[in-house]
Chains A and B, each alone.
Chain A
Amino acid sequence: ESGDPQRTALLLRKAWTLYSVTPLYRFCRGRLRDYARLLSAFIAAEKQKGLAVEVGVELDIKVALSSLPELQGSEQDEPALLVQLSSRSRASPRNSEDKILWLGCFCCVYGDDLSENMPEDFTCLPLFLANGAESYMSVVGNWFQKTFDCIFRRLAISPFSLSWMVAMWAGCKVDKAASAVELVFSVPRLPQPLDISYAIHPEDAKALWDSIQKTPGEITQEEVDVFMDCLYSHFHRHFKIRLSATKLVKVSTAIASAHCDGIVKMLHSQYLSGVLMLLTELAISQIQ
């Protein structure tokens, strides 16, 4: 099944948990229907064993695998693979819509670093996004690991990467009603924990970034450092607190938000690809 432009909208405004996935061995793009059937049977068996059980109503879980060719960076990238678990309660009428229980998406946006020297039998889809109950992730993850000899690992996002994200995203052009550029810091090891939310008006954050960035379209580590230092020193001037000594745990802009536990939300269709490219890079670093 091929994707359609509407379906990339599926990725927007949802909280996705991130994983890195090692290359899949002997994955065949033509066999999606077969895989869906096999995964469905696997889930049914796990349910009978007592895992992945939803309390209450009896659910028939339907599995659908499809390609999302829109989510690709370069020609070398594998098209994204969407895994959808939906249900129709046996109690509800025939023609009622299926409820989406869980979504998973394998993707690779500008993953040349990984796919370059990959042997024939391997498919590179290093980034995995999951939305829905953990129990379904567990079952689906297990099946893919068993079937394609790959490994899923949670992808955490370091404060270093979060700074890159906020600097990049703050510089993006957005409309008048854009939300603030927010950085959330946590100071857990005090006798009483402290959280600090530092939100900057998006126009002012963009103005600051624009005055730092030398070449449009290019970002250097030095520029990110200057951007962060400016924010830290403005804060220090007022509160005498050194934000650089605290832990940056979350960044949030009109483009996307990201949490250090490896949870992202993508908010703007125009920049979807850009965000996925960044996340693909993080996933690849974790694999290599």
Chain B
Amino acid sequence: MDEIVAEYIRRTVLKIPRDEIKMMLQKWGFLSEAQLQTLNFHQIKDNISQEVVQLCEENSADIKQAAVLDIIYNHIYQNKRMWSVYQMRKTGEELEYFDLTDFKKKFKRRLRSALKNVTITFREYEDNAIWIRVAWGTPYRQPNQYKPSYVVYHSQTPYVFISASVLKSNLPLLCQALIVASNYHDIREMELRSHSLNSLKDIVFKRYSQNFQTYCPKPLQGKTVEPESVDLRIINENRNEKERIQRLNQEAFGDGPQPILQFAQYKLETMFKSSPELDVLDKKEPFRCLVKFSSPHLLESLKSLAPAGMADAPLSPLLTCIPHKARNYFRIREKKGLFPGSFVSP
């Protein structure tokens, strides 16, 4: 077995938390159950990984098998990576029958014709997701196994989720290989990024509970703002206002759990306007700003601002449109003409 492969397997096992190593090796299926029995999972990880490497040596593991272990790790710890969303486009409306074998063949052929040294690995998962791992080399160097790109493609959809490695120069080639293999003619990057792959899927596949645009004529039952207090002298201040905010929030964000995004970024190129008494800036040029919102769970956070008294309800559509516009990067310019107060986002 190659030392490069040995070292790669050793480092991959080291990444795995100790109590999950056995489970991942079983998923991998490269070592037999009998071999797994011989492993002592109660020692320090350094020793466990050394023993795993020994066993892989016995089975003559090569880089292809090692890459599968890496995909398994990254599939389970997918939220450690940052994912971008790409949308592919076809000319015709025909729904072609998706042939996985054909897809893989075309994908590999396209990449290999451009780059001799690449390691390409596929793995299919139950939810129709095809995971692709690509390790990139150059005409003169073996692929760098430590900085691979990951692609997740749901064949029934035009969406591809990519976690590129630091080597961004390979992205055009990767995109090309994808459209060739899937019989699309065009691919574009959407302005949508998150650590939570499932949330990105929720957003583009519209799997989250959306806000409904239709007006709800009956006041919504159910959610009282605070529990009734026993002492009748204590009343809820601004009860109406609180209920109004609750209702507007519900209309804007929907009822269900929000998709998980970590940030939203707005490049503002709108005019600065102040109240007329303030004799300030009155330029004809835009007031250029860059606003970035960050949170472990951005949409939940924004949803809680109005009830907390820090924002007006309804919250600005610039924020509430994030899931149904499927983007978290925006460029906002002033809308010219009839309604000078409104904004347009290209």
Residue of A nearest to B295 (CB): A194
Provide the residues of chain A in CB contact with B282, threshold 8 Å.
211
Provide the residues of chain B in CB contact with A195, threshold 8 Å.
293-295
Complex CA–CA separation, A280 to B291 (angstroms): 32
**A201 lies within 8 A of B288 (CB):** yes
**B296 lies within 8 A of A238 (CB):** no
Knowing A207-B283, A238-B343, say if A194 contacts B294 (CB, 8 Å). Answer: yes
Query: Quick check: is B300 within 8 A (CB to CB) of the other chain?
Result: yes
Query: Quick check: is B280 within 8 A (CB to CB) of the other chain?
Result: yes
* In the complex, per-residue mask of B310-343: 1 if CB is within 8 Å of any chain A CB, else 0: 1110111011000000000000100000000101
Provide the residues of chain B in CB contact with A133, threshold 8 Å.
none
Complex CA–CA separation, A192 to B298 (angstroms): 8
Query: Quick check: is A135 within 8 A (CB to CB) of the other chain?
Result: no
Q: Which of A46-54, A170-178, A241-249 contacts B (4 or more CB under 8 A)?
A: A241-249
Complex CA–CA separation, A192 to B300 (angstroms): 7
**A245 lies within 8 A of B310 (CB):** yes
Complex CA–CA separation, A189 to B308 (angstroms): 9
Shortest CB distance B287–A (Å): 5
**B274 lies within 8 A of A194 (CB):** no
Complex CA–CA separation, A246 to B301 (angstroms): 13
Residue of A nearest to B287 (CB): A204
Knowing A191-B300, A192-B300, say if A241 contacts B278 (CB, 8 Å). Answer: no
Shortest CB distance A235–B (Å): 7
* In the complex, per-residue mask of A214-246: 1 if CB is within 8 Å of any chain B CB, else 0: 000000000000100110011101111110011
Query: Quick check: is A193 within 8 A (CB to CB) of the other chain?
Result: yes
Residue of B nearest to A229 (CB): B278
The A/B interface has a contact count, at CB < 8 Å, of: 118
Query: Quick check: is A9 within 8 A (CB to CB) of the other chain?
Result: no
Complex CA–CA separation, A46 to B298 (angstroms): 47
**B287 lies within 8 A of A193 (CB):** no
Provide the residues of chain B in CB contact with A212, threshold 8 Å.
280
**B289 lies within 8 A of A246 (CB):** no
Contact with A197, one of B279, B292, B311 (Cβ below 8 angstroms):
B292
Residue of B nearest to A189 (CB): B308
Knowing A207-B281, A238-B343, say if A180 contacts B290 (CB, 8 Å). Answer: yes
**A230 lies within 8 A of B296 (CB):** no
Residue of A nearest to B306 (CB): A240
Query: Quick check: is A137 within 8 A (CB to CB) of the other chain?
Result: no
Provide the residues of chain A in CB contact with B295, threshold 8 Å.
192-195
Shortest CB distance A230–B (Å): 6
Complex CA–CA separation, A205 to B52 (angstroms): 59
Query: Quick check: is B266 within 8 A (CB to CB) of the other chain?
Result: yes
Knowing A195-B294, A208-B272, A211-B280, say if A200 contacts B288 (CB, 8 Å). Answer: yes
Interface of A is mostly: mixed
Query: Quick check: is B1 within 8 A (CB to CB) of the other chain?
Result: no
Contact with A194, one of B278, B283, B301 (Cβ below 8 angstroms):
B301
Complex CA–CA separation, A201 to B268 (angstroms): 10
**B301 lies within 8 A of A245 (CB):** no
Query: Quick check: is A198 within 8 A (CB to CB) of the other chain?
Result: yes
Query: Quick check: is A187 within 8 A (CB to CB) of the other chain?
Result: yes
Query: Quick check: is A196 within 8 A (CB to CB) of the other chain?
Result: yes
**B280 lies within 8 A of A208 (CB):** yes
Shortest CB distance B280–A (Å): 5
**B293 lies within 8 A of A194 (CB):** yes
With most chain B CB atoms within 10 A of its CB, the pick from A207, A208, A238, A239 is A239
Could you list which residues of chain B lie within 8 angstroms of chain A, going by C-beta atoms? 266, 268, 270, 272-275, 278-283, 285, 287-298, 300-302, 304-305, 308-312, 314-316, 318-319, 332, 341, 343
Could you list which residues of chain A lie within 8 angstroms of chain B, going by C-beta atoms? 180, 187, 189-201, 204, 207-208, 211-212, 226, 229-230, 233-235, 237-242, 245-246
Extra contacts, 16 of them, besides A194-B305, A197-B294, A230-B272 (Cβ < 8 A), are: A187-B308, A192-B298, A194-B301, A196-B293, A199-B290, A199-B292, A201-B288, A204-B287, A204-B288, A212-B280, A226-B278, A233-B275, A235-B291, A239-B315, A239-B319, A240-B316
29 contacts between A and B (CB under 8 A): A187-B305, A191-B304, A192-B297, A192-B300, A193-B295, A196-B294, A197-B292, A199-B291, A204-B287, A204-B288, A208-B280, A230-B274, A230-B281, A233-B274, A234-B272, A234-B287, A234-B289, A235-B291, A237-B273, A238-B266, A238-B268, A238-B291, A238-B316, A238-B318, A238-B343, A239-B316, A241-B311, A241-B315, A245-B309
